[in-house]
Amino acid sequence: MSTWLEGRVVGQTRWTERLLSLQVQAPFGPFEAGQFTRLALDIGGERMARPYSLVNAPATAPLEFYYNVVPHGPLSPRLAALQAGDGVYVAPDAAGFLVLREVPQAQNLWLICTGTGLGPFLSILRTAEPWRRFRRVTLVHATRVVADQAYRGLIAALAAERGAQFGFVPMLSREAAPGALAGRSPEAIRDGRLERAAQADRSAACSHVMLCGNPDMVKEVTAALAERGMHKHRRRAPGHVTAETYW
């Protein structure tokens, strides 16, 4: 990536004390839904940069980033202090392979994420492609508590628009709430609760799974899927699982 774009903050949504969405105006080029770019601030005379997934759909403005404040992290607490009108550097290019172009044809698409890993899937769901290509699309969002289930309005709007083609399964690991699955996704895959809740087939014969967020979740879900004959997708060795980890 070459020179930085000088972005301007146009808004900041505060979902909870530590979960936020930053909206940025910048002359950003084309990208594919699911990709990330980098945000940067000058801190102590040094340009501190980190990757962040784009939540907005391609060719829409402003750019949106869904992130959490990592206590004592070098960048995220500073991003959280930004207000409308403040400057933030944006890398000019998007990168990443968590995109539908990399996903082979299947009947059902599963998007499984933890926490802020929801972001790239929202961008994908805001485009026409998943609805054109897959018979059923299931979004699984796993968080500790219900307060961390951000973007519920957008997800409800997608559900209303897409009807039976779309399924949404919220998962909560540290409290109970009506309509949410309890526990973690690897267990819910192994004991069949996830498929029952989603009312969708997740067999290797007809599904592709995209994973995003906590690296331990990605590792453990990948292992649970491998037990069912679903393997990492590679261009040279087509499979059923595509993943991106955030740390």
Ligand X SMILES: NC(=O)c1ccc[n+]([C@@H]2O[C@H](COP(=O)([O-])OP(=O)(O)OC[C@H]3O[C@@H](n4cnc5c(N)ncnc54)[C@H](OP(=O)(O)O)[C@@H]3O)[C@@H](O)[C@H]2O)c1
Ligand Y SMILES: Cc1cc2nc3c(=O)[nH]c(=O)nc-3n(C[C@H](O)[C@H](O)[C@H](O)COP(=O)(O)OP(=O)(O)OC[C@H]3O[C@@H](n4cnc5c(N)ncnc54)[C@H](O)[C@@H]3O)c2cc1C
Q: Work out what residue 53 binds among ligand X, ligand Y, none; the CB cut-off runs from 5 to 8 Å by kind.
A: ligand Y
Q: Which span sits near ligand X by CB under 6 A: 21-29, 35-43, 100-108, 183-191?
A: 183-191
143 is a site residue for ligand X (CB under 6 A)? yes
Which residue, 52 or 166, is less far from ligand Y as judged by CB? 52
185 is a site residue for ligand X (CB under 6 A)? yes
Residue 245 CA: distances (Å) to CA of 27, 45, 90: 27, 29, 21
Q: Is the dihedral of CA 182, 183, 185, 189 positive or negative?
A: negative
148 is a site residue for ligand X (CB under 6 A)? yes
Q: Work out what residue 7 binds among ligand Y, ligand X, none; the CB cut-off runs from 5 to 8 Å by kind.
A: none
**Count of residues of this chain found to bind ligand X when the rule CB under 6 A is applied:** 17
Which residue, 41 or 169, is less far from ligand Y as judged by CB? 41
Q: Work out what residue 119 binds among ligand Y, ligand X, none; the CB cut-off runs from 5 to 8 Å by kind.
A: ligand Y
Binding letters toward ligand X, positions 33-72, x by CB under 6 A:
-----------------------------------x----
**Count of residues of this chain found to bind ligand Y when the rule CB under 6 A is applied:** 21
Which residue, 115 or 170, is less far from ligand Y as judged by CB? 115
Interface residues with ligand X (CB under 6 A) are 18, 68, 114-115, 142-144, 148, 173-174, 184-186, 214, 216-217, 220
Interface residues with ligand Y (CB under 6 A) are 36, 50-53, 65-68, 70, 73-76, 96, 115-116, 119, 244, 246-247
